[in-house]
Amino acid sequence: MKRRVVVTGLGLITPVGNSVEDAWGALMNGRSGVGYIQKFDTSSFPVRIAAEVKNFDPLRFIEKKEARKMGAFIHYAIAASDEALRHSGLRITEENAEQVGTYISSGIGDFWAIEREHSKLLNEGPHRVSPFFIPSAIVNLAAGQVSIRTGAKGPNSATATACAAGAHAIGDSFKIIQRGDADVMICGGAESAITPMSVAGFAAMRALSTRNDDPLRASRPFDAQRDGFVIGEGAGILILEELETARRRGARIYAEIVGYGMTADAFHITMPDDTQSGVTRVMEKALRDAGTTPEAIGYINAHGTSTPYGDKSETLAIKKTFGEHAYKLAVSSTKSMTGHLLGAAGGIEAVFSVLAIIHQMLPPTINYTNPDPECDLDYVPNEPRQMKVEYALSNGFGFGGTNAALLFKRYHEE
């Protein structure tokens, strides 16, 4: 029999709050985290808005000397991991360290370090490049630093699968525990890529919203007037644990993770597959992995980025996967409030999916004011909704046609 895997800890650093409690409260109040970019001068940029993390002090979590050696995405990962571990009550000791792993992904890593050190190289020469440049920037150092700080000696990994990275980290961690290679995984995603080069690059692709005159309403998934995503930053971390391990230590169990799917579109570097094959199959795989039927699912936390093609494609894929039941589902995009956290999106949205199960409340899709005839599902418009949630599906898709789906279930003692 497959080992059962449960969620025993949650941690968040987001544009709408720097804790689980604060971020969930913001979602329940429909509060947007989007505003004018404060990190650099955007006067010459076609896009001047983003969903930045606010009022975050890394020195609350990390000694100053150590913090200077790390990119901001690592700071966020450490802070969210600390919260998740506190929630879980897990103590990592010499006895259990080899059975505790870390798997924290990122789409880009520390773009700030790349830009800063490249400028030093060009203007001051190679001798001015920091010896901490590489370990502050590379994607796997979020997981690496959390492992070093906590003493977790189990599997230590990271993926860089663009905007599906956080979801892949959680799904892969689920399978690591299920097959017995660890008993506990600290997993999720972290990102901090609101930089001049990143914003310029995404803007050049015409992927970003240019609603500079109305930032709070710029991210509007599934709305007919959506014009692109709003880039965000932060981290979302879960503690996944083998059920009997959690029971033995008396852990609080928030939910159970029961299904995971991963597929490829094999279609285009940025555009969704016009047949929706990859996205349909990834949701079907998660359902099949869980051994459940489409009719059992009540809520989907959609990828829902607020791009014209992406939201339409995801809607069509949901209808292909769920048939007539698609019109009985509740589907919402929390990116309407947080913006799109790229490699961290799957992490924070998995946390939100678990919170929907815990509280039996659905976060809304805000800024939904102009229905799109091609996006005709129930997107929980503008207001949170109380609803019985037995299963919550969380979708994550990335450039290159990489897809992930996670299925969480309300935990029942048996």
Catalytic residue set: 163, 303, 340
The backbone torsions φ and ψ at residue 399, rounded to the nearest 5 degrees and listed phi first, read -50, 150
Per DSSP bridges, beta strands 299-301 and 391-398 are parallel
- How far apart, in whole angstroms, are the C-alpha atoms of residue 222 and residue 332? 9
Token pair recorded at residue 412: 């029942």
Largest interatomic CA distance in the chain: 65
DSSP state of 149: H
How many residues are recorded in the chain? 414
Which of 116, 27, 135, 153 lies closest to 73 in space, CA to CA?
A: 135
Residues 305/311, Cβ–Cβ less than 8 Å: yes
Tokens representing 379 are 């997107």
User: Alpha-carbon distance 240 to 243, whole Å?
Assistant: 9
Angle separating helix axes 20-28 and 345-359, nearest 10 degrees? 70
Instruction: Answer for the pair 164, 404: CB distance below 8 angstroms, yes or no.
Output: yes
